[in-house]
Amino acid sequence: SQQGEEDPQALSIQEGENATMNCSYKTSINNLQWYRQNSGRGLVHLILIRSNEREKHSGRLRVTLDTSKKSSSLLITASRAADTASYFCATDARAAGNKLTFGGGTRVLVKP
């Protein structure tokens, strides 16, 4: 089974609205990473948050990490049509030999 599981599986919002997606995982991690994938392309990293960090920002992106609940969230503020993509979380777990495993992703549609 996958280490990270995203919720919701799909999200449709209007341009300008915020988009929030969540990721839950099962085992202790070194860090948790969020990626974006445009249709037909490879994944591109967005933010990496380490296990001793609780929040991180990058532009319109905000990531939180709650290791006690084994969960993370990605918030995209003031969404744009260009944010339409699939978003994935991935966990890097030292106990698993630094294996990088991905969740099923959240498909985000931002309507203009």
Q: Is 82 helix (H, G, I), strand (E, B) or coil?
A: helix
**Identified binder of other proteins from the candidate list 63, 88, 91, 110, rule CB under 8 A:** 88
Minimal CA–CA distance to 7: which of 109, 85, 108, 110?
A: 108
**Rounded (5°) CA angle 29-33-35:** 150
Give the residue with the Cβ less far from other proteins, 45 or 57: 45
Contacts with other proteins, 48-87, as mask; x by CB under 8 A: x---------------------------------------
User: Which of 59, 69, 97, 112: binder of other proteins (CB under 8 A)?
Assistant: 97
Contact 74, 21 (CB under 8 A): yes
Distance of closest approach, residue 104 Cβ to other proteins, in angstroms = 5
Q: CA-to-CA distance for 95 and 29, rounded, in angstroms?
A: 8
Q: Which residues bind other proteins (CB under 8 A)?
A: 2, 30-31, 33, 35, 41-45, 48, 88, 90, 92, 96-105
